[in-house]
């Protein structure tokens, strides 16, 4: 399911919420969360509410944000095998779905 969301994530990111209601355009369902100010999206397994903390490099390097801080996170605990989708840029994503277990040296 995570891989199927990549195209939708690109489309959502490539349009302005000032110009169009993204929830309506992409058929997404907003869920009010008790911890987050921004709504969670029912179709996504996790949500992050972040704030940009440093915009000095935005214009110079064309970054969408230079530095940010995560204020809150929401995760669907009903999902057994949570896969995370990582944007690498230029429409390329990586899916983290392999688990590795290592014996701890801590006692």
In this prediction, residues 74-101 reach a mean pLDDT of 75
Q: Is residue 102 part of a domain?
A: no
Q: Is residue 85 part of a domain?
A: yes
What residues contact 89, with CB distance under 8 A and at least 6 apart?
none
Q: Is residue 72 part of a domain?
A: yes
Q: Is residue 57 part of a domain?
A: yes
> How many domains are contained in the chain?
1
Q: Is residue 101 part of a domain?
A: no
Q: Is residue 44 part of a domain?
A: yes
The pLDDT-based confidence of 76 (bands split at 50, 70, 90) is: confident
| CATH at residue 16 | 2.30.110.10
The pLDDT-based confidence of 21 (bands split at 50, 70, 90) is: very high
Domain containing residue 55: 5-96
pLDDT at 60 over 60: yes
Q: Is residue 104 part of a domain?
A: no
The average confidence (pLDDT) of the chain is 76
pLDDT at 106 over 70: no
In this prediction, residues 31-42 reach a mean pLDDT of 77
């Amino acid at each position: 399911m995570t891989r199927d969301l990549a195209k939708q994530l690109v489309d959502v990111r490539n349009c302005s919420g000032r110009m169009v209601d993204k929830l309506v355009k992409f058929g997404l369902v907003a869920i009010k969360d008790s911890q987050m100010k921004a709504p969670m999206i029912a179709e996504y397994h996790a949500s992050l509410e972040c704030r940009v903390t440093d915009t000095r490099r935005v214009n110079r390097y064309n970054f969408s944000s230079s530095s940010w801080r995560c204020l809150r996170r929401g995760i669907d605990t009903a999902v057994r095998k949570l896969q995370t989708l990582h944007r690498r840029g230029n429409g390329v994503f990586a899916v983290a779905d392999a688990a590795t277990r290592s014996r701890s040296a801590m006692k």
